[in-house]
């Protein structure tokens, strides 16, 4: 990423990893809360 300080690059990497996990958790929660999995008759993981 060509940052002057390696710690800056590591912060971006950590953010991207956490954002991906947060999105997955939010999707699972939304499906469960709205009952989409049971309404559609399929289970998503």
Per residue in 9-43, pLDDT tens? 888 888 888 888 899 999 989 888 888 666 666 55
- Mean pLDDT over 4-12 rounds to 88
Cβ pair 1, 12 in contact under 8 A = yes
Residue 36: CB atoms within 10 Å: 13
3 pLDDT exceeds 80? no
Q: What's this model's pTM, rounded to 2 decimal places? A: 0.48
Residue 8: CB atoms within 10 Å: 11
Cβ pair 30, 36 in contact under 8 A = yes
As given in the structure block, the two tokens for residue 37 are 């999995």
């Amino acid at each position: 990423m060509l940052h002057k300080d390696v710690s800056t690059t590591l912060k971006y990497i950590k953010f991207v990893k956490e954002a991906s996990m947060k999105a997955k958790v939010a999707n699972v929660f939304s499906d469960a809360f709205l009952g989409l999995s049971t309404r559609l008759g399929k289970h998503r993981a």
